[in-house]
């Protein structure tokens, strides 16, 4: 169904400019418009049935604003919400003329919707999460906070650690496996929350009557036209698809798939977190994972007693990552605070570090260092070999006094 164009009359005689807030004084442009459209694409992807009205207000509002945006520039607007969704799949963000500052401009070729799978890209989800109260942020934060609250109330940090590992290592479960978790010593406490994290596997992931997992991340692969599959996680798209285990829809009583926001913002960076954990173990160091109920991601103690606190993010847009960055809390305490991003993000986005630094809040700028995972491991090996490295001064994140830390990644 074609959405109402802005300015047309409604039953009560009011135009859509009044109904949807698209009057000239409320016109969205630039970054707010991009956030609005990204959130609309996420909402559309979550819509399973035809509603009444057909589209949520946020979707109709995004369409109205895009139409006005085009008309003000003398461009042909999309004729309907479905056409807007096609734009999101076919037009790279650079061609939308949002008028974004250069430092916020997305990587060339970035789309809001993956044309092959019809699902929002990670960039789309990041822009939506940066908007006020989007569905993806609501869902992810609600479940993670619920798991944290239940674990804290029971004084059971091991329950929360097991929960995080499950979401990272098992993004697909059969109904039988999901039910069996109720008897798990660590996960039984959070069983109801776990069940809400997993949705019924969608028919769109079926090919020839079977579901197939990605051999890297374990998420369900999405069949694409003309044969083949595609993984939705950015980290897996850099290499040829690797097929893993497969199931029929009836196996184990049916299949459950971790929800998309959790796959993107928990499973994706979680793979980098557990990979670092394994690499540190090979170097002879034991990392405490998600200490003190997820104050940060990894706590690494060196033989001389120095402690590094590490938070891992896998974000496509360094500007949005910078804006969201805050100093790591000193509970448990540490000597050096690090924000670690997979190397491929630096490789694929020129100036990733510089854009991040431009947008990181002042209170965090000298209290947390941005490194790639490769830079982190190189500095770990250097430290374990006992090499002396130049030290630079930084503020203690709790006292505000000056301390020292090893050289930054840019000098590694």
User: DSSP letters along 37-84, please?
Assistant: HHHHHHHHHH--S--SSSS-HHHHHHHHHHHHHHHHTT-PPPSSHHHH
Q: Where are the alpha helices (DSSP H) in 199-267?
A: 234-237, 260-262
The pLDDT of residue 140: 67
> Rounded distance, CA 160 to CA 242, Å?
30
Report the mean per-residue pLDDT for the chain.
85
> Rounded distance, CA 81 to CA 60, Å?
8
Decide which of 25 and 113 is more confident.
113
* Total residues found in the chain within this entry: 412
How does pLDDT run across 265-321, given as a tens digit for each residue?
Answer: 899 999 999 999 999 999 999 999 999 999 999 999 999 999 999 999 999 999 999
Residues 6+ apart with CB under 8 A from 19: 10
Long-range contacts of residues 176-182, Cβ cutoff 8 Å, at least 24 apart: 176/252, 176/253, 177/252, 178/256, 179/253
Given pLDDT bands bounded at 50, 70 and 90, which one contains residue 103?
confident
Judged by average pLDDT, the poorest of 55-64, 154-163, 352-361 is 55-64
pTM of the model: 0.75
Answer yes or no: is pLDDT of 404 > 70. Answer: no
Longest alpha-carbon distance in the chain: 77
CA-based angle 206:272:162, to the nearest 5? 80
> Rounded distance, CA 406 to CA 46, Å?
45
Q: What are the C-alpha distances in Å from 409 to residues 60, 102, 292, 328, 340? A: 45, 24, 27, 18, 10
The pLDDT of residue 19: 36
Tokens for 369?
């260092």
Given pLDDT bands bounded at 50, 70 and 90, which one contains residue 49?
low
The pLDDT of residue 225: 86
Q: What are the C-alpha distances in Å from 364 to residues 311, 312, 325, 369, 372? A: 13, 15, 7, 9, 18
The pLDDT of residue 116: 85
Residues 6+ apart with CB under 8 A from 311: 296, 297, 328, 337, 338, 339, 340, 368
> Rounded distance, CA 72 to CA 156, Å?
57
- Going by C-alpha positions, the residue among 176, 144, 386, 112 that lies closest to residue 261 is 144
Answer yes or no: is pLDDT of 398 > 90. Answer: no
How does pLDDT run across 18-34, given as a tens digit for each residue?
Answer: 333 444 445 677 888 99
Judged by average pLDDT, the poorest of 186-190, 197-201, 233-237 is 233-237
First vs last Cα of the chain: how many Å apart? 56
The pLDDT of residue 132: 47
CA 128 centroid distance within chain:
10
Label residues 147-179 b or e (16+ Cβ within 10 Å = b). bbebbeeeebbebbbbbbbbbbebbbbbeeebe
Could you give the count of Cα atoms lying within 13 Å of 161 in the half-sphere of its Cβ?
15
> Rounded distance, CA 96 to CA 90, Å?
11
Tokens for 263?
């796959």
């Amino acid at each position: 169904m074609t959405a109402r164009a802005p300015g047309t009359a409604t039953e009560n005689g009011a135009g859509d400019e009044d109904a949807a807030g698209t009057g000239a004084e409320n016109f969205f442009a630039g970054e707010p418009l991009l956030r609005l459209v990204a959130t609309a694409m996420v909402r559309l992807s979550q819509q399973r049935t035809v509603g009444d009205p057909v589209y949520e207000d946020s979707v109709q509002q995004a369409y109205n604003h895009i139409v006005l945006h085009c008309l003000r520039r003398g461009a042909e607007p999309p004729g309907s919400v479905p056409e807007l969704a096609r734009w999101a799949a076919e037009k790279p963000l650079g061609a939308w003329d949002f008028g974004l500052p250069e430092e916020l401009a997305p990587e060339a070729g970035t789309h809001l919707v993956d044309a092959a799978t019809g699902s929002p890209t990670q960039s789309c989800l990041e822009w939506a999460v940066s908007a006020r109260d989007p569905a993806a942020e609501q869902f992810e934060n609600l479940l993670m906070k619920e798991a944290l609250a239940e674990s804290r109330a029971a004084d059971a940090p091991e329950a929360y650690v097991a929960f995080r590992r499950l979401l990272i290592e098992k993004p697909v479960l059969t109904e039988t496996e999901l039910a069996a978790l109720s008897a798990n010593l660590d996960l039984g406490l959070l069983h109801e929350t776990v069940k809400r994290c997993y949705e019924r596997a969608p028919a769109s992931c079926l090919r020839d009557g079977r579901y197939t997992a990605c051999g890297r991340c374990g998420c369900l692969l999405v069949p694409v036209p003309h044969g083949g599959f595609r993984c939705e996680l950015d980290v897996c798209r850099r290499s040829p698809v690797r097929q893993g285990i497969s199931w029929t829809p009836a196996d184990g009583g049916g299949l459950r798939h971790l929800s998309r926001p959790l796959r993107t913002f928990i499973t994706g960076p979680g793979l980098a977190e557990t990979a670092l954990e394994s690499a540190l173990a090979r170097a002879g160091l034991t990392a405490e994972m998600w200490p003190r109920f997820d104050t940060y991601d990894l706590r690494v103690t060196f033989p001389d007693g120095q402690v590094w606190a590490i938070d891992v993010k896998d974000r496509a847009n360094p500007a949005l990552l910078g804006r969201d960055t805050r100093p790591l809390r000193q509970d448990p305490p540490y000597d050096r605070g690090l924000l670690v991003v997979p190397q491929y993000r630096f490789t694929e986005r020129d100036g990733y570090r510089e854009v991040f630094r431009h947008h990181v809040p002042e209170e965090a700028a000298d209290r947390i260092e941005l490194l790639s995972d490769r830079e982190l491991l190189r500095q770990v090996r250097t430290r374990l070999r006992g090499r002396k490295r130049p030290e630079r001064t930084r503020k203690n994140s709790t006292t505000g006094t000056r301390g020292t830390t090893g050289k930054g990644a840019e000098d590694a």
